[in-house]
Amino acid sequence: MFHPRRTRTRTRILRALLLPLTAGLVLTALPDRTATAASTLTNGGFETGGSGTATPAGWSEHGATGASYTESGGRDGGHRLSHWSSSAYKVETYQHLSGLPDGDHRLTAWVRSGGGQNAAHLALKNCGGAEQRTALPVSASDWIRIVVPVRVTNNRCTVSVTSDANAGDWINVDDLSLTPGTAGLAVRGTDVSSLPKSEDRGGVYRTASGTAGDGLAILRSAGMNYARLKVWVDPADGYNDKARLLATAKRVKDRGMKLLVDFHYSDTWADPGRQTKPAAWAGHSYGRLRTDVYRHTYDVLDALEAQGTTADMVQVGNEINGGMLWDEGSTDNWTQLAGLLNSGYDAVKAVDPSTTVALHLAEGGDLDGTRRWFDNAVSRGVRFDAIGLSYYGYWHGTLHDFQTTLDDAAARYGKPVFLAETAYPFRLDSEDAHENIIDLPGELVPGYPATPAGQTRWMNDVASIVEAVPNGRGLGVFAWEATWTARAGNGWDPADPSSGNGWENQALFGYDDRALPAMSWFGHR
């Protein structure tokens, strides 16, 4: 396994002896060095000087300076910046820039981290406005690209790499560049399909301080700007049908949020393992199914528009890796699947041409599978505006796998991409009698504990990966089922009131019904 200490030089070891004297220093304001600052980032690849350079050329250090150094093993070139010490430490490696043109700038860097730090981030500061930071995701072997945007208003800026770390914690940083450009996420949302049934079964939602309130309003006040709602055709419990969708959509729009409608084309859950036709459509021919898809899609969206709550985005199908409306719409018959998808697309655009049509796959870390599916879709003339991927880190590969797949989809198909579903546990035990989907330490993603802090870090780090998609094609993130707390009668099976909920430990409200710290991710740029 990769370990950053193996390439330390003798100089590195000697300097580490000084760390106990400086590890406790607080990183106070940096000295003003504008007289020696350059107008472009110098030595962003840390190649000048080679391994063991105490202070990389063009950079300065502050705090426990012995913990900051260059070593071999760069992402692209031969060397990288590393922070590490055998003692707890706080260190900042920074570079002042002056003579910058005012306007929007974007810092891009490739990073690795073993995790465990109190804080490890890149920052742009002293730029004339608020400091901007991006935390380093936990990735012990693969490099992850992150970005930090800022608006320069005083022709100056400081690029900063900071660690507040425990003994043995480490980071690697390489290939930094500062260029004109912006970043940020247009979509900071969550699926709240479970909310109406939860409320009807006595579900309570509270602010972090304990005040009871409307669950949507609490999420909105935290910064949520987009709601995702699924719609089934004729569900057994009467929830997530057209009527319930219309009622919840009105609440969403009344709070100034946008709306994504997720068509399952089923009476129950549709996902990679099941795409069961609605009972009312059973026995229909393929041609009739195309008409069913069009009419159902049009009917739901037209009703939303008529009440003044037009859908801003629509998913034609949910996690359709294997197709939809089996068996006629299976990927075993791509020509028929393409026809069904285009029927949905045409219905969406007939109601409102400005509504974004997304196609949604699971397994967001599966590069080959995603390529194969969309290559088939494109070759058969399937029309769509955006690509949504589900990515659950405990199932779908590493963060590097997710970034690789997301970046490739955006570039290969020239479409904006978004994280359609993700979640992470804030604890492992269950609040009801039903076993949780994730309930063992061995199921967790390394570096992300099942704690409120671990859940918060997960949400922010996947948001940072979407934000870093090149050419501004990363739309944003939907957390999955933020409001699906444990309530008797609101289980996973709409036909069985006694069924339980295996996801309440991944909601954004805790077992005390209070808003969890992970809601802070809605404040992501």
What residues are labeled active site?
319, 421
State the Cα–Cα distance between residues 484 and 392, nearest whole angstrom.
17
First and final C-alpha spacing in the chain = 34
Q: Determine the Cα angle at 280 with ends 277 and 286, to 5°.
A: 55
Residue 378 has a CB neighbour count (10 Å cut-off) of 14
What are 372's two structure tokens? 């194969």
Residue with tokens 């972090």: 208
Of the candidates 153, 102, 110, which has an alpha carbon nearest to the alpha carbon of residue 134? 110
Say if CB 484 and CB 503 are below 8 A apart. Answer: yes
State the Cα–Cα distance between residues 309 and 259, nearest whole angstrom.
8
Q: Determine the Cα angle at 190 with ends 264 and 350, to 5°.
A: 45
21 Cβ partners below 8 Å, 6+ apart?
none
375 Cβ partners below 8 Å, 6+ apart?
none
Say if CB 316 and CB 338 are below 8 A apart. Answer: no
Sign of the CA dihedral running 355, 361, 367, 373: negative
- In whole angstroms, how large is the CA radius of gyration of the chain? 25
Say if CB 295 and CB 343 are below 8 A apart. Answer: no
State the Cα–Cα distance between residues 61 and 55, nearest whole angstrom.
7
State the Cα–Cα distance between residues 355 and 68, nearest whole angstrom.
49
Residue type, 410: A
State the Cα–Cα distance between residues 433 and 500, nearest whole angstrom.
7
Residue with tokens 């009703």: 303
Residue 140 has a CB neighbour count (10 Å cut-off) of 17
116 in helix, strand or coil? coil
State the Cα–Cα distance between residues 308 and 315, nearest whole angstrom.
20
Residue with tokens 């019904």: 513
State the Cα–Cα distance between residues 90 and 140, nearest whole angstrom.
20
Residue with tokens 């742009």: 124
Say if CB 256 and CB 220 are below 8 A apart. Answer: yes
Going by the DSSP 8-state scheme, the letter that residue 414 receives in this structure is T
